[in-house]
Amino acid sequence: MCGIVGYVGSKEAADILISGLRRLEYRGYDSAGIAVFSDGEIAVRKEKGRLSDLEEYMKSAGTPYGNCGIGHTRWATHGEPSYANSHPHSAGRVTLVHNGIIENYIELKKDLEKGGYTFASETDTETAAALLDRLYKGEPIKAIAELTRKIRGSYALAILFSDRPDEIYAVRRDSPLIVGLSNGESFVASDIPAVLKYTRRYYLLDENEIAVLKESGVSVLSLEGESIDKEVFEANWSLEAAEKGGFEHFMLKEIYEEPEALKNTISPHMIGGLPDVLNLSLGDKRLAAVNKIHIVGCGTAMHAGLIGKTAIEKLARTPVEVSVASEFRYVNPIVDKNDLVIVISQSGETADTLAALRLAKKMGAYTLAVVNVVGSSIAREADGALFTSAGPEIAVASTKAYSVQSAVMYLFALRLALVKGTMNENEVAEKSAELAAMPKLIERLIRDLDPTCKKLAEQNKNTESLFFIGRGMDYSLSVEGSLKLKEISYIHSEAYAAGELKHGTISLVTDGVPVIAIATQTPLFEKMISNVKEVKARGAAVTLVCRTDAAIADDVYDNLVLMPEISDLFMPLALAPFIQLFAYHTSVIRGCDVDKPRNLAKSVTVE
């Protein structure tokens, strides 16, 4: 949510800021703005709506010309989407943009009002700008350091001082910022895609470090003003990887990228035909001593954890609890020093997941991160990290991240089973080979399922409510399928364990109500078909997803989707493209904004 871009160099800043913000649109936003040093002053242009609305506004208001500036896309938290609440915000000599939430802004605002400051917006950000202006006595580092001591909450700030032309200052806490490095120009951004067009080299700004950006280069200082040597990272994916590449939408492109992402994730973790997912800080001896596992994540990442729970308990016979990250801290979790806490996050910056990680560490548990971004906050703070290789995922609705997170869960389960002795080496090698073969199978399935899903989407485009049902791992997949459909098509959708229908939910099934029934788990198939008959008898329009050799009567379903004969264990991985393509085509046919669904953001860095 929210995006920050800053540039200082010899080129026109406005063009670079707009270009960078466009590459951050996937984060979700409802207003946009830029501030540029122009003709001796800071010129601000901002507008409610999309970047195109800002560009249209600048045709009449004028584009500010200059070589240094900051830009922002805002996802509303404090105050509705409006011109006044849009960033950048100015107060006296300070203009800044902000990601995150200032928790104590009300008390700060009241104190500032007593001192004569007036406010034009409802935002916490304007309060930060006014406070910084009051603290500023001509020395930016001292003022910013004092600001960090007075404000509570999460923030990433990019700051301009009116008497410091051609300089940008940046600082962060619990909200990510990267600093891009190039000859004769410097960048700051909330994510790498914003600067990939210009550089692949960057610093990861750590908490309470202050970056000073000039055309001549970047310096990073402590709050006390001492110079800090930073490691230079290099993005391992290209600008082309963050573009549509001929696909109509990023989401469709990313679904089609799943086979390659799975291959790139699974292959490095296979040595001698066996899974090798452990780093030096979590060896087999320590893993063998784990009594219980907690998997923590948000949304799609948590759903990948549900797949992981079943795989771990089935293969390694080790108890697993899956928790929503935003609830984990508030239920007084029972975590022992011999427990393992696995946190899953695509970005590695998810605020609730990061907070859960920190709590688990305080409680003495070993923590393991499953993340896609090397150097992210979660990756750095966890005791160990397993990296997925999804590459950039631009669409708000997560697709390939779900698949690779699930794949890592399978790899971990197999390794744990080997270490715990619940499977022998030959058994683990056999399952590992099946997992390694999944990318090629899924490549074919995507191609075959695409037209089927488009047809199903056409049939269901006008429905108001739809249900997914399943049992066992099919239910875990159904939860993700329901989320995908509702978040991008805006159809009310729910997932239910099929055996629970008779305990209330079946009252909602009437003539014509669509039901996606997933029935691929062999031991549960007959019971699942009985559940399907229950909804069919009440008039449901059933799409049945089952194995090719399943023995079923024609009157059980209205649509039939057949899956190849693979093991029950890996069926959710094979079915992931089906639920994603169905949601995608439904969204397209309904005329929704597939890549940027309303009210949603890609990277949720506030609690």
**Which positions are catalytic?**
2, 602
Going by C-beta distance under 8 Å and a sequence separation of 6 or more, which residues neighbour residue 221? 141, 209, 210, 211, 212, 227, 228
Three-state secondary structure string covering 563-603:
ECCCCCCCHHHHHHHHHHHHHHHHHHHCCCCCCCCCCCCCC
- Report phi then psi at 340, rounded to 5: -115, 130
Q: Is the distance from CB of 66 to CB of 41 less than 8 angstroms?
A: no
Euclidean distance between CA atoms 44 and 69, whole angstroms: 10
Lookup: tokens for 285: 């001896």
Q: Is the distance from CB of 576 to CB of 259 less than 8 angstroms?
A: no
Going by C-alpha positions, the residue among 84, 75, 99 that lies closest to residue 158 is: 99
Q: Is the distance from CB of 232 to CB of 197 less than 8 angstroms?
A: no
Consecutive H or E run containing 231? none
Euclidean distance between CA atoms 304 and 407, whole angstroms: 9
End-to-end CA distance of the chain: 11
Going by C-alpha positions, the residue among 376, 378, 348, 375 that lies closest to residue 361 is: 378
Going by C-alpha positions, the residue among 376, 367, 575, 581 that lies closest to residue 458 is: 581
Euclidean distance between CA atoms 370 and 378, whole angstroms: 9
Euclidean distance between CA atoms 96 and 93, whole angstroms: 10
Going by C-beta distance under 8 Å and a sequence separation of 6 or more, which residues neighbour residue 270? 276, 432, 436
